[in-house]
Amino acid sequence: MPSFRTLAAAVLLLVPGCVRGAAVNSNPGNSHAHGGGHGGGKGGGQRNGNVTHCGTDFCTWWHTTGEINTWTPVKPGNVRQSHRYSVEVSPAGANTFYDSFVYEAIPRNGNGRIYAPTDAPYSNTLSATVDDGISIEPSIGLNMAWSQFEYSHDVDVRITTIDGSTLGGAGSVTIRPTADNLAMRDGGDGSVIIRVPAATNGYRFSVEFANDLYSFRSNGSDYVTSGGSVVGVEPTNALVIFASPFLAASDVPSMTAANTHTMTPGPINNGDWGNKSILYFPPGVYYMNQDQSGNVGKLGSNHMRLGSNTYWVHFAPGAYVKGTIEYFTTAAHFYATGHGVLSGENYVYQANAAEDYVAVKSDTTSLRMWWHNNLVRGQTWTCQGPTIAAPPFNTMDFNGNSDVSSRISNYKQVGAFFFQTDGPEIYANSIVHDVFWHVNDDALKIYYSGASVSRATIWKGHNDPVIQMGWTVRSISGVTIDTLNVIHARYSKSETVVPSAIIGASPFYEDGMTVSPNESISMSVSNIVCEGLCPALMRITPLQSYTNFKVTNVSFPDGLQTNSIGIGESLIPAASGVTMDLIISNWTVNGTKVTMSDFGSTDLGQFNIDVSYWGEWEIV
């Protein structure tokens, strides 16, 4: 049997290498066809057709059903294509460029505020009392585009615009995380070219143009379009590049006709996913087509409940699946692998799987992108490579047994505009590395011992902290977080219940609970960089003691927020009997080191910690 890579490349070449078209629909009722040809790689400023390449050096892909549409839902079998950017990849220095599809996500996915997935777009059926976390974003045209390719050699990535706008030249470009330090140059045709070196862990970065930045302003409660204070700056038309190493052999299932159920692009009807060990999505666009009763054309009204035999879901590069995955396997190891996309764009906010997927919040039954509600002790989930887009609620929760673990790497999350779109649960002894998460809730949920997180890039919305360790009394030790890059944050309020901070701990989620000083949290957080205007370093409501809690090498190169809203102030109030064994070392704000002489709430560090902890903590 041919290798997976051979099969994938063959299918990819069948799909991307032909004449392509993209429906264009920037406003309702205004659409026309956009076509092109094919041929060899493109040099210089050549822009004829769409040509991809898939070899051992790098692999790009395309979708024939790309739809440029900034306002309404795309057609079921289409995929939203960036209205602004073109991305191409060339061997480094060769000036022979091949197309890489540029995806796009928009707030509310073009539906407006709707209650049920069957409600008409912009019918405004969601109760005015429900805050979905989105306010001015649609009106300012905020969107997030991304492009991914696989590679093993140095490459050049060329970015151009397709909407008549200008990029402003390489001198006006910022790549975040800035620590990536990638070289840029002008392409001579209005394009910008970025050199991306081969790297074992790949690169995941935002490309930001000075003429495309939007300053979020707040009156202390909500975003405003004038007045108030600037609380964050983001691209209006975000562009993220995922340069991903080819998957290791261990991350690709050994697929045969006997053990693998291969999906066919197009509508997914009930049970189409079979019950074999491996579920494989070749390149193409897929969408959940039926509700649970079998009625067709019911987008956003069902999800894939895998058979109990299925323990591995694999996405080919170029697979785009509109749906979510629920496992039922009891296998010791279960998987989600591959460089495809799992999109929640057809679901309403907080889609409740127990109530016909309407917008009724339930911590138990609102839909997750990855879900397992029948865990057995000792299971481990490996997630290597996928991108999730437009989640409607929490992105991953596994229930039934907390004695589980995960291995998460090269995992990306984009288009998380709704509230409660958090990072995945990080269970005991989990290992997470080389991830990029756009979140509008907790990013790193540290609720269990022994977890390791490294090389995490976070694009933060305005709800909850980057690191969350609160809501209930916890006993945690052996946690390490190293190399955390927060490339954006735009908190609109000064919050402690949902802390506006890098490191946070919320108060009790449920009533009737009491502080437990004999329990403690111990961890090491090192090499934090917060770019742009930063929120507070720490906002902790102590529910237990903190022991040997170390925060090392923190850089806020652009400074803490200093406005009257107070978002930049760290807050640690008193709690009876609690100890605060905390040491912060080598923390700089605007390049100046914070010390015990300038940490105060009105000084450089804006660090407001209750006097009852004096002598238990220090900043060095």
Taking the C-alpha atoms of residue 115 and residue 119, their distance in angstroms, rounded to an integer, is 7
Long-range contacts of 459-462 (CB under 8 A, 24+ apart): 459/206, 459/487, 459/488, 460/486, 460/488, 460/489, 460/490, 461/133, 461/416, 461/417, 461/421, 461/490, 462/133, 462/232, 462/489, 462/490, 462/491, 462/492, 462/493, 462/500
Q: Report the candidate in 526, 503, 383 with the shortest Cα–Cα distance to residue 444.
A: 503
Check residue 606 and give left, alpha or beta (phi > 0: left; psi -120 to 50: alpha): left
**AA letter at 58:** F
Point out the catalytic residue in the list 119, 251, 422, 464. 422
Taking the C-alpha atoms of residue 62 and residue 509, their distance in angstroms, rounded to an integer, is 45
Asked if 245 and 199 count as a contact pair (C-beta separation under 8 A), the reply is yes
For 258, 282, 313, 333, 578, the CA distances from 376, given in Å and listed in that order, are 26, 30, 19, 11, 35
If you write DSSP's letter for every residue of 359-389 in order, what string do you get? E---TTTB--SEEESS--TT-EEEEES-EEE
Residue with the two structure tokens 């490294």: 454
Asked if 487 and 531 count as a contact pair (C-beta separation under 8 A), the reply is yes
- CA neighbours within 13 Å on the CB side: how many for 520? 16
- Longest CA span, the chain: 72
Q: Report the candidate in 273, 240, 281, 278 with the shortest Cα–Cα distance to residue 258.
A: 278
How far is the first Cα of the chain from the last one, in angstroms, to the nearest whole number? 60
For 160, 253, 443, 492, the CA distances from 520, given in Å and listed in that order, are 52, 41, 22, 31
Taking the C-alpha atoms of residue 322 and residue 388, their distance in angstroms, rounded to an integer, is 10
Point out the catalytic residue in the list 99, 434, 441, 464. 441
In the structure encoding, which two tokens stand for residue 459, read together? 């694009």
Q: How far is CA 547 from the centre of its chain?
A: 31
In the structure encoding, which two tokens stand for residue 311, read together? 């323990």
Is 482 noted as a catalytic residue in this protein? no
β-bridge mates for residue 103, sequence order: 81, 146
Asked if 237 and 145 count as a contact pair (C-beta separation under 8 A), the reply is yes
Q: Report the candidate in 24, 96, 20, 32 with the shortest Cα–Cα distance to residue 58.
A: 96
Handedness of CA 65, 71, 76, 79 (dihedral sign): positive
Handedness of CA 350, 354, 355, 356 (dihedral sign): positive
Q: Report the candidate in 565, 590, 578, 388 with the shortest Cα–Cα distance to residue 492.
A: 565
**Whats the size of the chain, residue-wise?**
620
β-bridge mates for residue 81, sequence order: 103
Asked if 41 and 95 count as a contact pair (C-beta separation under 8 A), the reply is no
In the structure encoding, which two tokens stand for residue 341, read together? 């996309």
Burial of 583 (0-12, 13-18, 19+ CB in 10 A): middle
Asked if 273 and 313 count as a contact pair (C-beta separation under 8 A), the reply is no
Lateral strand order in the sheet of 79-80: 30-32, 21-27, 65-68, 79-80
Taking the C-alpha atoms of residue 13 and residue 302, their distance in angstroms, rounded to an integer, is 32
Is 156 noted as a catalytic residue in this protein? no
Q: Which residues are catalytic, by number?
A: 422, 441
